A and B are shown apart, each in its own frame.
Chain A
């Protein structure tokens, strides 16, 4: 019975994947009509395709790509994707090759998500087994979270829009997923490569080093050692072989070595491609500096642009510090509470970054929504999920309308659009907070099952 179910499941999985790819390809064929590449939701100053093309043009005319304040991406992206911005095939849409690259990046990310999800599920089942909880929790009802996550990632309208809108976020997302995949399947060089590239492309994934270290040190899903001991104290049998491994520093050092190697490699490549221009310092100034100082005040789905357009000049630096420190402040508490679930920790970090980053786009949301799919089993009893779903749908419908009213028709003003950005930020906050408490409650439930106490986890 289960086999049949699995077969049907996998069959429809591939169906859905093909459908989503075909849908993308159809959309690619009329990008002019959609004009997605200049939507503020899709193209931020960091991910915009037109800015990439401008950077490439400047470089081709033997000027520094960072001359002027148009391009703020990586020089490697310029050398890899730049030629695709001008290559044309007769009779085909202008940026077909580039779009195909985005589609491939999306599919690869989805496959990596699927593989990681399966990995995670196995690890979860193993840890349940080691706690002898297999009987209490109906494992047979467990969903294939890997498939679900991959499908969420592929069929999410946000992902599709970011892919068809020619932004560079599919590639940034792929780097993040590559990092997590590598860490989950213990391919340390791959994990290091993903982490270095993701950090190089958009700075924020740098904080993923903490979940990656936990992943490498303890494995993808290990129940708290304390819990395990507690369990076996009760039974008064201590099976050393079943004991979850202690934190092992070996892979972490290995990772650090590879990360160092890759970052030197990336920096050398950047240095070579920027040799005749301003060099690496200029690159850091106009990529990381641009991200950290929020220079561009053009509207996006975040809240910082309007805040910094309105805030008094002498408070600007103060608030820049406050907003960036807001991300950093949460790293430690989350790491302490969720250290036994490093993948979930990575998801929370990604979600927080995409909420608080200076130039958020829907591509970032697509990433964390996809990763959320990994935890469908654990987060089954999360609160407000319907409310959140409706909220996301509502905001993604209202936000373009408000943008249109403000920018194109001139009948609304900036506050209308800002209000939707605000609601969107609140929704993400609710998602993160509820997600974290649901996960903590799930752990409580497990502990209660072990200690045999009545369930009062929900409080």
Chain B
């Protein structure tokens, strides 16, 4: 018995132990060898040449691939992981933007503008990891889910007229990518709140505490972005790992009215600012759930070059760099990073890092910048500045022109980039037009330096999917190869304006309709910033993002096309008048055909009487008697009665037919 009892006890022990172990494992996910869910929060501040300040919040949560039984998440937002699982999303990006990124003064070459400058309104693209025939259905469901998740009208992207499937303008996805924009979506705090809900600390702790709604929405540009990538799981039973990247890019004007008014000499000096003056808040400690909580201050290449030019020495990386003759930082940075390109004796940007860990409630972090001398610099531009405009007048037709102008700053860059003879600049253009802008693709014209060029000389590759009325938008993807010496290039394409049914007009029809931004990208140019001291970078998702080789991209303006409107107030009038005209046609023509003059009528009667035998004649007489009328003599006005009779019969038949149709269509 004791012999028997012992193994039982042992078994019990083992079972309970296993159970306990499982409990522990379930609770903390902290098993050895398995990655943990991670969260990083970072903030990048960068002064812009036109007295503005770029603040770029970057939050990254990642969930490692896990076994499918564990749907529980520690830090990672459950809504997002469910969305990825349900719709088999491989990669997705959603952005809400207000205002337009000013490529000319805020730069277009850095990683920040090329991946965070977005078109106004909502932009969504997603790559699905599903069979081709399911993708449209998945996209539709995804738009509805996102619409609910972010309190926005993303569900309008569901209709097939609103999204398109670009072939090669985005990361190649072999037809599994869908792209849609809503240029007129109003972005406001109701979209930000659900976005913040995805963060583990929300806006209660850490860097996100700075997100004070009034100051954010006062900015010149505001773009909130959500990018998620699911890394395919190796084995079958595993859920995919997800990396969720949330960024918020705000361009703010530091409130420097008082300072500039006080000293006239300070007018040209860049405004002084501090976190507390822009956001009205300070960072009181980090979000405890975050692995890493840093604030960066970036001086871009142009600014660094300018400062070095002024002081003739490397003040920025010397001792006491934070209080140099040009500016003064209110906090001491923990680290300095210098861009790798400095080794190549080129301009390099400088990055100061502040670790939030050191600060606490009692000693909150507040970074301030105070300029001592006036500095003027330029941000690095994309090789060509893209803009787009409409040509023509009237509401019947027009033309879209995409103009690419060479930027001054890029000339030297291009010159050094390619010294060989046939230097070519590759430009990709991606343009979606809604169906009511009926584009004539054969009218595509290219002008290089104001000279018309043959389309085949400039356009290397073209992919067009023409718009179908009320079904799909028109998509145009072009690969242009321009000579490097180009100073301007213009593409024009003509279109006819469509006419819509009155129900298809939005409530403010006379405001016009938007043509979404075109995307102009330069695949030969890569926006990347590689900083020295790589070993410490691995922990910062923001800096590793900067190191990624991504092509320089820019968005053009949204175009507003006014369309002709019908008269919304009188559908009934139109219906009744048109039907009257048709009735006039039908009635009068039939009348003209069946009208007989009196003499003909008499003749026919005679003939009929002659032809009829005795019995039918009697019958007709009888009928006439029954109807209480005398048989009409030959002199009686013949037309009226028969006319009315047949007319009434016709009417009855017509009405009966109409009623039958009506019944049929309503049942």
Closest to B395 in A: A407
Q: How far is the CA of A67 from the CA of B584 in the complex (A)?
A: 40
Residue positions of B touching A, CB distance < 8 A: 393-397, 435, 438, 440-443, 462, 464-470, 474, 496, 498-503, 564-567, 570-571, 574-575, 577-578, 581-582, 584-586, 588-590, 592-595, 597-600, 661-662, 665
Please state if B469 and A414 are interface contacts (CB–CB under 8 Å): no
Q: Which 9 A-B pairs have the closest CB atoms?
A: A68-B466, A57-B442, A408-B394, A310-B571, A69-B469, A437-B592, A297-B499, A310-B574, A429-B585
Please state if A355 and B499 are interface contacts (CB–CB under 8 Å): no
Distance from B561 Cβ to chain A, minimum over Cβ atoms (Å): 14
Most chain-B Cβ atoms within 10 A of its Cβ — which of A69, A311, A436? A69
Please state if A310 and B585 are interface contacts (CB–CB under 8 Å): no
Stretch from A16-24, A144-152, A168-176, A301-309 forming part of the interface with B: A301-309
Please state if A295 and B469 are interface contacts (CB–CB under 8 Å): yes
Of A38, A68, A408, A410, the contact of B467 (CB 8 Å cutoff): A68
Q: How far is the CA of A334 from the CA of B592 in the complex (A)?
A: 10
Closest to A48 in B: B496
Please state if A69 and B468 are interface contacts (CB–CB under 8 Å): yes
In the complex, whether A232 has a CB less than 8 A from a CB of chain B is no
- Taking CB atoms, residues of chain A closer than 8 Å to B465 are 67-68
Q: How far is the CA of A63 from the CA of B466 in the complex (A)?
A: 10
Please state if B665 and A317 are interface contacts (CB–CB under 8 Å): yes
Of A295, A306, A312, A355, the contact of B566 (CB 8 Å cutoff): A306
Stretch from A207-215, A264-272, A325-333 forming part of the interface with B: A325-333
- Taking CB atoms, residues of chain B closer than 8 Å to A317 are 665
In the complex, whether A158 has a CB less than 8 A from a CB of chain B is no
Stretch from A113-121, A180-188, A451-459 forming part of the interface with B: A451-459
- Taking CB atoms, residues of chain B closer than 8 Å to A436 are 589, 592-593
Query: Binding site of A, secondary structure by majority: helix, strand, loop or mixed?
Result: helix
Distance from A365 Cβ to chain B, minimum over Cβ atoms (Å): 16
Total residues of chain A contacting the partner, CB 8 A:
65
Of B498, B502, B567, the contact of A415 (CB 8 Å cutoff): B567
Please state if A437 and B571 are interface contacts (CB–CB under 8 Å): no
In the complex, whether A203 has a CB less than 8 A from a CB of chain B is no
Q: How far is the CA of A63 from the CA of B498 in the complex (A)?
A: 23
A-B contact pairs, 22 of them (CB 8 A): A57-B441, A58-B464, A63-B464, A63-B466, A67-B465, A68-B467, A297-B499, A303-B578, A303-B581, A309-B566, A310-B574, A311-B571, A313-B503, A334-B589, A407-B564, A413-B567, A414-B564, A429-B584, A433-B588, A437-B592, A440-B595, A457-B597
Number of interchain pairs (Cβ within 8 Å): 156
Interface residue ranges of A25-84 to B (CB < 8 Å): 38, 50, 53-54, 56-58, 61, 63, 67-70
Please state if A425 and B581 are interface contacts (CB–CB under 8 Å): yes
Please state if B575 and A422 are interface contacts (CB–CB under 8 Å): no
Distance from A84 Cβ to chain B, minimum over Cβ atoms (Å): 13
Distance from A392 Cβ to chain B, minimum over Cβ atoms (Å): 17
- Taking CB atoms, residues of chain A closer than 8 Å to B588 are 429, 433
Please state if B468 and A68 are interface contacts (CB–CB under 8 Å): yes
Q: How far is the CA of A303 from the CA of B565 in the complex (A)?
A: 16
Q: How far is the CA of A56 from the CA of B441 in the complex (A)?
A: 11
Closest to B600 in A: A444
Known: A69-B469, A407-B394. A58 touches B441 (CB 8 A): yes
Distance from B164 Cβ to chain A, minimum over Cβ atoms (Å): 13
- Taking CB atoms, residues of chain A closer than 8 Å to B599 are 453, 456
Please state if B499 and A310 are interface contacts (CB–CB under 8 Å): no
Q: How far is the CA of A309 from the CA of B594 in the complex (A)?
A: 35
- Taking CB atoms, residues of chain A closer than 8 Å to B470 are 295
Please state if A56 and B442 are interface contacts (CB–CB under 8 Å): yes
Known: A313-B503, A418-B574, A422-B577. A69 touches B467 (CB 8 A): yes
